[in-house]
Structure 1
Amino acid sequence: MRYIDEAALADITIGSTILGAGGGGDPYVGMLLAREAIREHGPVAMCDLDEVPDDARVVFIAGMGAPGVLVEKLPRSVDAVAALRELEAYVGYKFTHVAPAEAGGLNAVTPFSTAGAGLPVVDADGMGRAFPALELVTPTLYGGKATPLAMVDEHDNRMVINTSDNTWAENLARAATLTSGCVTMMALYPMTGRQAKDWLVKGALSLAERIGRTLREARTAHEPPVEAVMRANSGVSLFEGKVTEVDRRNEGGWTIGEAVIEGSGAYAGSSMTLHFQNEHLAAVRDGQIVATVPDLIMALAVDSGEPIPAEEIRYGYRVAVIGMPCDWHWRTPEGLALSGPRRFGYDMDFVGVEERAVTPA
């Protein structure tokens, strides 16, 4: 077990933005919530997944909403704690550990905002990245249930949902979030320590911290930041150029759209379109798909390596688009059936980003 202070939180935040694959909610907002909790209650304990007792009670703490809305309407850490307490009251026992549902974006650091509850955060998550729907987690692959699920909104409305399957949990929770103004906090996927060990992506927060630290150190040493990020997690170059068009809209509780990039340097004369639903779903270069979910696709500022979420990408930005292999859970037949390109309407088989990506000569 170790304790996460503000410096470590900053590295986790920048790394989780990259693992967010364009989505997951604004991690800076999440960092502000977590930093406030750390300043009030002190550094937050984070334990390795192997340290969690088999009989422990573990739960995901997460926010739900369209990232484009979260930029303007901030979630509240008190709502995260309230959701935790609401679920405890329903199930009749106290949770011993909290964990992030996803390693990307705001939700990677949201559990740290529950510091006032005094529970350690588990260094693991349910995705190894970010996905746009709450059934898209590794516990689903093993029969884990999203519900009972507790939700709290900014109006202090509280709800506990029980559903027949995890897709229904997504549908009903999304509808409630829309009604509440597109921002809610949730406690969901209650599980034992033994189940957490069997189901979750181990070391997800440590990976985010390592990526963030690598980028920070590269900047300090005046090394190429994008190359440093790719080295930190087996990344590959997909494109580089200037953003010339963005079509983005909040629809159905998601931020949906496309960004068009005109190539420069080795990619001069080419163009790329990034398709996103909160997260980037596909990267299409000159009409050919070069990366899809469940692999990670991320736009980084060329000069600084700063990750640019889908809700923030703008005309004129000079970006490098990189791809990273997803966690092994998602490359299994079951994982691809749940999160592969066909899940999002692309009639094609999944091919790993490391096989598709070919840099022009």
Structure 2
Amino acid sequence: MSEWGYVIGEEDLLPLSLGCAVLGTGGGGNPYLGMLRTRELIRAGAQVRIIPFDALDDTATVYALGSIGAPVVGVEKIKRGDECLHALRALERTTGRRADALISEEIGGSNGIEPIAIAAQAGLPVLDGDGMGRAFPEVQMTTFFIYGQACSPAAVADDKGNVVTFDPVDTMYRLEALARAVTVQMGGSAGMCTAPMGMAFIRRAALPGTVTQALRIGRAIVDARATRADVLERLLVVADATLLFTGRVTAVVREMKGGFSVGMAMIAGNGAYAGCTARIAIQNENLVLWVDDAVMACVPDLIMMVEHETGEPITTELVKYGLPVAVIGLPAHDLLRTAQALDVVGPQAFGYAGIDYDTHRL
């Protein structure tokens, strides 16, 4: 393995958490808690190197991991911190293949930081990429599974040391159903690791550069705050995002359903959007944005609420009445825009049969 890459320092963790929260489209777990766990590991002497795909040859074995469950549970039920490590070790025992590197299932939210925390414990590097370029609520919604990752073995682990391994599993949808059911029994959140992948597959199916993308977005927010620049304006430029709406949250409906946090946020417009009303459908993440009943954006494109003045990303479990927000949109990666991918992560996959993605893509 090459020594290419970038060593994550404590000073990187706040920008990384902010960038992951933006890319998380409201989900992926609370990034602040993930930042705190990782900070303590680094302060204790752990070192984690972020490496590009070219740093490993085709014989290397890579495991993808992240948390599974509802974001609101992740705030109320604090992790022990080694759940994903236990799931990883279970798969290494099952397959007989030791990990050469880790990669995030999703760069969004706390899950963008989770592989760094686990790598710090396991002494492994983390690949600069992920399987979503954002966050999605279901296990099968990664470019890894969409483009051919094995459905098993996979494992989930909880904060009490319980580990459940799934092998064999016939489809990625079955894996989602089984893992979700076990996660509910584990209290609504758990750590998960999926089947090992080779680097030739990673180079074909993963989204490259998303860790450094999150760092770049987060650093722009931090720098704009420090220099008293217009944070929203800076964020739009650096993230290559579009301003979709501004206003104040007037209502939030949220409930736990089938292991997911589902609901709707309502926003009364202001400024250029005065007199307009927006609503955002939520299933862990923000899925669809309507303005006055017209679809403005939808999955797999990224829809994110940020606090208007500070650019602070507002995850779905923290949306509340009265918040002044800007809603921004980012186009999804091309790997998420193919017909094959849209069958898994497009509007119809979430039950929005009447929304055509190609008509509303950013």
Q: Is this a same-fold pair by TM over 0.5?
A: yes
Equivalence map 1:279-358=2 (5 Å): 279-346=285-352, 347-351=354-358
**AA matched with 2:10:** E
Q: Look up the SS of the partner of 2:265 in the other structure.
A: strand
Q: Look up the SS of the partner of 1:243 in the other structure.
A: strand
* Percent identity of paired positions between Structure 1 and Structure 2: 38
| Deviations 1:13-72 (CA, angstroms, capped at 9, x unpaired) | 100000000111111111122222222242311101121211101001211111011111
Deviation at 1:334, TM superposition (A): 1.1
Equivalence map 1:64-143=2 (5 Å): 64-114=68-118, 115-143=120-148
* Contact 1:325-1:353 at 8 Å conserved across structures: no
Gaps of 5+ in 2: none
* Contact 2:151-2:170 at 8 Å conserved across structures: no
Q: Look up the SS of the partner of 2:182 in the other structure.
A: helix
Instruction: Specify whether residues 146 and 123 from structure 1 end up closer, same or farther in structure 2 by C-alpha distance, changes over 3 A only.
Output: farther
Residue 153 of structure 2, aligned match among 136, 148, 155 = 148
Deviation at 1:220, TM superposition (A): 1.5
* Contact 1:324-1:353 at 8 Å conserved across structures: no
Deviation at 1:352, TM superposition (A): 6.8
Deviation at 1:353, TM superposition (A): 5.8
* Contact 2:106-2:130 at 8 Å conserved across structures: yes
Residue 37 of structure 1, aligned match among 35, 41, 44 = 41
Mapped partners of 2:60, 2:44: distance in 1: 26
* Contact 1:64-1:186 at 8 Å conserved across structures: yes
Gaps of 5+ in 1: 356-361
Mapped partners of 2:224, 2:15: distance in 1: 13
Match of 1:4?
A: 8
Mean Cα deviation higher: 44-53 or 13-22: 44-53
Moved segments of 4+, more than 3 Å? 351-355
**AA matched with 2:357:** F
**AA matched with 1:140:** F
Q: Tell me whether 1:23 sits opposite 2:53 in the alignment.
A: no
Q: Tell me whether 1:170 sits opposite 2:180 in the alignment.
A: no
**AA matched with 2:72:** G
* Contact 1:149-1:189 at 8 Å conserved across structures: yes
| Deviations 1:152-171 (CA, angstroms, capped at 9, x unpaired) | 11221111102111111111
Deviation at 1:3, TM superposition (A): 0.5
Q: Look up the SS of the partner of 2:44 in the other structure.
A: helix
| Deviations 1:111-149 (CA, angstroms, capped at 9, x unpaired) | 111112101011110000000001000012221124211
Instruction: Specify whether residues 275 and 225 from structure 1 end up closer, same or farther in structure 2 by C-alpha distance, changes over 3 A only.
Output: same
Mapped partners of 1:64, 1:41: distance in 2: 28
Mean Cα deviation higher: 262-271 or 72-81: 72-81
Mapped partners of 2:207, 2:329: distance in 1: 19
Residue 227 of structure 1, aligned match among 218, 226, 233 = 233
**AA matched with 1:351:** D
Deviation at 1:80, TM superposition (A): 2.0
Mapped partners of 2:115, 2:337: distance in 1: 27
Match of 2:221?
A: 215
Deviation at 1:189, TM superposition (A): 3.3
Mean Cα deviation higher: 40-49 or 129-138: 40-49
Mean Cα deviation higher: 123-132 or 332-341: 332-341
* Contact 2:301-2:361 at 8 Å conserved across structures: no
* Contact 1:295-1:352 at 8 Å conserved across structures: no
Deviation at 1:209, TM superposition (A): 0.5
TM-score, normalisation: structure 1 = 0.96
Paired residues, number: 355
Deviation at 1:83, TM superposition (A): 1.4
* Contact 1:104-1:130 at 8 Å conserved across structures: yes
Q: Tell me whether 1:13 sits opposite 2:17 in the alignment.
A: yes
Mapped partners of 2:74, 2:295: distance in 1: 30
Deviation at 1:241, TM superposition (A): 0.6
